[in-house]
A and B are shown apart, each in its own frame.
Chain A
Amino acid sequence: AQKITQTQPGMFVQEKEAVTLDCTYDTSDPSYGLFWYKQPSSGEMIFLIYQGSYDQQNATEGRYSLNFQKARKSANLVISASQLGDSAMYFCAMREGAAGNNRKLIWGLGTSLAVNP
């Protein structure tokens, strides 16, 4: 079963507007972390933001924030005031906390975001 689901293969947003990229996850482990990465066309993987399952507040990093809804098992990335440089592929990933899983990251298939001028 897919543990990380990103339902939007492609998204468009107008420059300066906000956009939400969806991520739902599936785990029975009470301890887990959720990560978002950006992959621009140049190919590198850039870590954006992290949310822990026990964190009381939604994570924020500059223009990036996480809309973390634990009961719904969703961790949507919100990018505020989109810029042309935000055009990229975005990946959601999860690491479960149980020691037996060797801390492997489980990846979604990504969402391609295009920011229009």
Chain B
Amino acid sequence: NAGVTQTPKFQVLKTGQSMTLQCAQDMNHEYMSWYRQDPGMGLRLIHYSVGAGITDQGEVPNGYNVSRSTTEDFPLRLLSAAPSQTSVYFCASSYQGRYNSPLHFGNGTRLTVT
């Protein structure tokens, strides 16, 4: 059982480049989300989705784009990378509509923008 699979594990970008972080889950979770984690700032929600075709913004959505064409996949796109987007990114999923459902996390992507 793979759980939440996130790729790549590490990435270095130059300012202005674009890239897509991939996230896939095999638990049939309706809810999927992307977080960024920065020192001293905890986990901040970037975008989330409550089902295929439905996405919404979290706390820090600027500079990021998402789509949800299938239940399994929830890619995060950086449109034009900036040094401020240097961070560790986590994809996480859970059942929707059950407030006792824990988030299951991918292993994270460490992104450096130079």
Chain A residues close to B by CB (< 8 Å): 31-33, 35, 43-45, 47, 50, 52, 91, 93, 95-97, 102-105, 107-110
Contact = CB atoms under 8 A, between A and B. Distances in A.
Please list the 10 inter-chain residue pairs (A to B) with the smallest Cβ-Cβ separation, ordered nearest first: A45-B105, A47-B102, A97-B99, A109-B42, A107-B43, A33-B100, A95-B99, A33-B99, A107-B42, A43-B108
Question: For the complex, would chain B's binding face be called helix, strand, loop or mixed by DSSP majority?
Answer: strand
Nearest to A53: B99
B105 A44 contact: yes
Given A102-B50, A110-B42, A45 B90 contact: yes
A31 B99 contact: yes
A103 B31 contact: yes
B107 interface: yes
Interface residues of B, number: 27
A40 to B, nearest CB: 12
Interface of B: 31, 33, 40-43, 45, 48, 50, 56, 58, 88, 90, 92, 94, 96-97, 99-105, 107-108, 110
Given A104-B48, A107-B43, A50 B100 contact: yes
B45 A104 contact: yes
Given A104-B48, A107-B43, A109-B42, A44 B99 contact: no
Given A45-B90, A108-B42, A110-B42, A52 B100 contact: yes
Contacts of B33: 104
Interface centre among B50, B100, B105 (most CB of A within 10 A): B100
Given A47-B104, A52-B99, A91-B42, 4 more contacts: A35-B102, A45-B105, A104-B33, A109-B41
A95 B48 CA distance: 15
Nearest to B44: A107
A96 B108 CA distance: 25
